[in-house]
Amino acid sequence: MAQHTYDFGLIGLGVMGRNFILNVADNGFKAFGFDLDKEKVEALQKEGGDLDKVDASTDQATFLDALQLPRKIMLLVPAGKIVDQVIENLLPHLDEGDLIIDGGNSLFTDTDRREAYLKEKGIHFFGAGVSGGAKGARKGPSIMPGGSREAYKEVKPIFEAVSAKYKGEPCVAYLGPKSAGNYVKMVHNGIEYGLMQLTSEIYDLLGKAGDMSNKEMHLAFDSWNKDRLQSFLVEITAEILKKEDEYGPGELVDKILDKAKQKGTGKWTSQNAMDLGIPVPSIDIAVSMREISALKNDRIAADKIYGRPEPKRIEKKKLTKMAEEALYFSFIVTYAQGLHQLSEASKEYEYDLNLGTIAKIWRAGCIIRARLLADITKAYQSRPDLPNLLLDPSFSEEIKATIQSVRELVSYGAENGIPLPGLSNSLTYFDAYTSGRLPLNLIQAQRDFFGSHTYERTDRTGTFHTEWES
């Protein structure tokens, strides 16, 4: 093997890493992988076949010698301490100007720390969120890079080649300095949590309120995916609902335990939104519902104590129409919350994010890709300073046309004991955000009463305090 002949290096040859590096090779770039696991290295070599553009090794020195200078090395390893360990192992053997790219779901503050640390040593570093799962990594993901603009130029041709394409446009763009890429990916995942929770609630409603079979629900989701709700999550929901169980009669979905796991990115989104003072209740409750789902034994015990009312049936055609409108409404509201968080984070962390660009690179490849994002892109391109998607005229018309179904279904869920926290929180957020006056004047009075925290008035300027007890 000739030294310094490979264009791109990748560390971490699990399913995501192997698929990504094969994608790089498929697009005409020579790529070399590294993993301590011999089986993973051999799996890549086998899948790469006779390609002379991809190879791998379990030896770090061989890996580093194979790469062109300055080296472009991407890490697709689990977030956390492992990333720091890989960096420390590489550092003594790197040359000034080499570039390390973290393609995992690292916490954005870790990315800021690593960039500053490596900059002192003359090494470029940036985070690049990669979304699309294993299939996306192989065929074209959405990529969200942030950090040094100059360093990004080194890998821009590769990233644009391997990314998903929407009408010919690559779903990748430089997003901003420091940890902008990892931050955007974090919020992307928070939105993903919200959309998944909402989709599961609509599935639950169709079954309980409409007594619809999995096959009937499959047809509903499949038809929605051909219209304005076209999206990856609606598409795969339709596929899931028709999948038969290989171990017995019926569909597989009915045999899956109702305990959802998480890797932390949704929680980080929610926590950081609280730090910024930005409301994202549709995302918050999606995180909480995964935590509640983990309490399986407690839920079974509580179910036996309290029971559940027998749901009143809703005619299937009517329910299907209402469910589609409710899901569309709540999808819009969830995107609105996530994009609002990105807008405020951009100011707080000096990312200078372009929300139109972000929506644009989410249109294909990623988990939250949806037809809706084309309209969101247009909204922010026409008005880059749009404070909230709900203030856009085109979306306000869509909201007005669908909100009555949301109100009826949320009310139905409350009356019939069907938990709809995602829908409820989306509706509550909307009603609060669109209320010219909220009852928080009373809270301010209470705070002043017990803590002398003062308040402002509606009829005059200044700050006031009252001695409430005579």
Q: Name the pairing type of β-strands 124-131 and 99-102.
A: parallel
Helices (H), 140-280: 149-162, 180-210, 214-224, 232-242, 265-276
Q: Which residues are catalytic?
A: 185, 192
CA 36-39-43 angle, to 5 degrees, is 115
Q: Quick check: pTM over 0.85?
A: yes
Q: What is the pLDDT of residue 280?
A: 98
For 316, counting Cβ atoms within 10 Å of its Cβ (0-12 exposed, 13-18 middle, 19+ buried), the class is: middle
Distance CA 162, CA 74 (A): 14
**Is 193 annotated as ligand-binding?**
yes
Task: State the Cα–Cα distance between residues 339 and 275, nearest whole angstrom.
Answer: 16
Tell me: is residue 93 an annotated ligand-binding position.
no
Domain ranges, ordered by start, for the chain: 8-174, 185-434, 445-469
7 and 30 in contact (C-beta within 8 Å)?
yes
What confidence score (pLDDT) does residue 96 get?
94
What is the pLDDT, as a whole number, of residue 440? 96
* Alpha carbons 18 and 11: distance in angstroms, whole number: 9
pLDDT per residue as tens digits for the range 414-430: 999 999 999 999 999 99
d(CA 159, CA 388): 30
Q: Is 188 annotated as a binding residue?
A: yes
Task: Give CA–CA dist 348/277, Å, rounded.
Answer: 11
297 annotated as a binding-site residue: no
Residue 380 labelled as part of a binding site: no
Q: Could you tell me if residue 197 is left (phi over 0), alpha (psi between -120 and 50 degrees) or otherwise beta?
A: alpha
pLDDT given at position 350: 96
pLDDT at 284: 97
354: left (phi > 0), else alpha (psi -120 to 50), else beta?
beta
The pLDDT, as a whole number, for residue 51 is 58
Residue 57 known to bind ligand: no
Instruction: Tell whether 441 is in a known binding site.
Output: no
Model pLDDT, residue 364? 96
Is residue 290 marked as binding? Answer: yes
Is residue 189 a known part of a binding site?
A: yes
**Angle at 428 (CA atoms; ends 426, 434), nearest 5 degrees:** 100
For 230-240, b/e burial (b = at least 16 CB within 10 A) is ebbbbbebbeb
Q: What does the mean pLDDT of the chain come to?
A: 95
Count how many residues are written for the chain: 470
Low-confidence ranges of the chain (pLDDT < 50): none
Q: Contact, 273 vs 280, CB < 8 A?
A: yes
Residues 92-125 pLDDT 10s: 999 999 999 999 999 999 999 999 999 999 999 9
Q: What is the CATH number of domain 185-434?
A: 1.10.1040.10
Angle at 382 between CA 188 and CA 192, to 5 degrees: 15
Contact between residue 198 and residue 205 where contact means Cβ atoms under 8 Å apart = no
* Cα 379 from chain centroid (whole Å): 20
Q: Say which CATH superfamily domain 8-174 falls into.
A: NAD(P)-binding Rossmann-like Domain (3.40.50.720)
Q: Which of 41, 38, 44, 42 is nearest to 19 (CA)?
A: 44
